[in-house]
Structure 1
Amino acid sequence: MTVYFIGAGPGAADLITVRGARTLAACRVCLYAGSLVPRDLLAECPPGARLVDTAHLTLDEITAEAVRAHEAGEDVARLHSGDPSVFSAMAEQMRRLDAAGVPYEVVPGVPAFAAAAAALKRELTVPTVGQTVVLTRVAQQATPMPKGEDLATLGRSGALLVLHLAARYVDRVVAELLPHYGPDCPAAVVAYASRPDELVIRGTLAEIAGLTKEAGVLRTAVILVGRTLGAEQFRDSHLYSAERDRHVC
């Protein structure tokens, strides 16, 4: 018996990977966060599978479900929105499964920031403009951020920032980033990326807070801030350049 941590993708049911869908279809138990994982995806579960919405369960209660399935010899699909490697609480679940002697594997998924970039029709890394993407969040009403990972510190790099779980605090985000990016820096908020109700908000850093609040966006969104969002004039990548020596292995 194995617990499979499966990335369910950013929202659209067809953005789960082929491996994720096949694994889900083979598991007799499915633990999923009902507030984030699309219900349509549960149709991939086998007939008669036990479906457990974990939205209101504690970590210990989720672990107990996995242990119960382990004792019954049933594989478990643990569905996480996006990709489970980022902001999923997978690490503490693994720690508990290790202590209980329950084996597990990870099936990656499409992360929210990738779906947001697709909605914006933007490459987040652009030659000579920006080659670094920072995935982060804010600490308001959540686990405190480690020392040196506050927005002011991260903003000094000038890299493209992608903030998860921060739409409700967009005023604070803007205030902390304005000194480093300037009021004219391109910014965007993408809510419900890849879903039928997807909402894309574009503006400058000075405008984005007002636009976000006007749209009523409070959750299930990512904030993106950085020059690559508005890059138009830049040098082509060396990868496909005619000047590149293609005979070098």
Structure 2
Amino acid sequence: MSQNKTDGEVIFVGAGPGDPELITIKGSRALERADRVIYAGSLVNPELLKLCRPGTPCHDSASLTLEEVLALMLDGTKRGETIVRLHTGDPSMYGAVKEQFDYLEEQAIPYSVIPGVSSVFAAAAAVKREFTLPDISQTLILTRLAGRTPVPEREALAQLARHQTSMAIFLSVQDMGAVVEALLEGGYQASTPIAVVAKASWPDEEVLFGTLETIVAKVQAAGIRKQAQILVGDFLDPTGGYARSKLYDPTFTHEYRQGTDR
């Protein structure tokens, strides 16, 4: 590890899915005291930058390389600045943060992470559904279709679909036909419910409901090509019914309540 000690720090902040009110209080406070902000301008709502003090330098990383982002961090922290690296959603999901962490550790630059609301949860809120319904699914798979960024063969969408769980698929709506093909190959029925939520929590949010048989035509008709979550599984439409939660069942005993016979 380098011994280039600095007085500055870098704070990675999850900006949330789009609605500026969905940033955490801790994240907003970091923006309020930031000396410099590097934000993902292609996805982060620019309204969040109004939380910064007037005159705070804000760098849009959409057109920058990793090396250019790191140079901004190094320059700022050498000056003793607190730098906020503002990522869309939560930084841990497709945030390309590990390579930034590695560099900061090599340079002995202090950094921390403030989590954010992921678009997957904003999408669930938009469709008003629960991923983990008793007797339907107790597992949620978060994944993406292979594209210019490959996925390991064992994580191919068709392989994951064999589990028949609730699924949320990121970064894949631009190839909706391939998504549906992989899901069918993995064992989902053509009648399986599916939802596409474009720009979840933004003012122009759009929600499409369908089945694996109908969704491709709906997505094409709507012209949705990016910034969309694909939600798949019977949790969207549990036509066979679902079990009542044990937590609030009056016959169920747990640490805080003695169950009673009906």
TM over 0.5: yes
Question: Normalised by the shorter chain, which TM-score bucket?
Answer: over 0.9
Q: What does residue 194 of structure 2 align with? A: 187
The 5-angstrom pairing of residues 1-249 of structure 1 reads 1-141=8-148, 143-179=149-185, 180-231=187-238, 233-246=241-254
Corresponding letter in the other structure for 1:154: L
Tell me how far apart the structure 2 counterparts of residues 138 and 246 of structure 1 sit (CA, whole Å): 41
**Identity over aligned residues, as a percent?**
43
Q: How large is the RMSD of aligned CA atoms in angstroms?
A: 1.2
Please give the secondary structure, in 1, of the residue aligned with 2:153: coil
Letter in 2 for 1:65: L
TM-score (norm 1): 0.97
SS at match of 1:224: strand
- In the alignment, the residues of structure 1 paired with residue 216 and residue 102 of structure 2 have an alpha-carbon distance, to the nearest angstrom, of 38
TM-score scaled by structure 2? 0.92
Q: How many pairs align?
A: 248
Q: Secondary structure at the match of 1:240?
A: coil
Shift of 1:214: 0.8
Q: Helix, strand or coil for the counterpart of 1:245?
A: coil
Question: Stretches of 4+ moved more than 6 A in 1?
Answer: none
1:105-156 Cα distance to aligned partner (Å, 9 max, x none):
0000000000000000111110110111100011112x21123000111000
Deviation at 1:93, TM superposition (A): 1.0
**Alpha-carbon distance, 1:246 to partner:** 3.7
Structure 1 residues 197, 248: closer, same or farther in 2, change over 3 A? Answer: closer
- 1:247 is displaced (CA, Å) by 5.0
Query: What one-letter code is carried by the residue in structure 1 that aligns with 2:236?
Result: L
Structure 2, unpaired ranges of 5+: 1-7, 258-262
Letter in 1 for 2:182: E
> Aligned equivalents of 1:227 and 1:247: distance in 2?
31
Q: Distance in 1 between matches of 2:178 and 2:35?
A: 44
Query: Cα distance, 1:176 vs. partner?
Result: 0.9
Specify the code of the residue in structure 1 equivalent to 2:233. G
Structure showing greater Rg: 2
184-193 vs 93-102, which moves further: 93-102
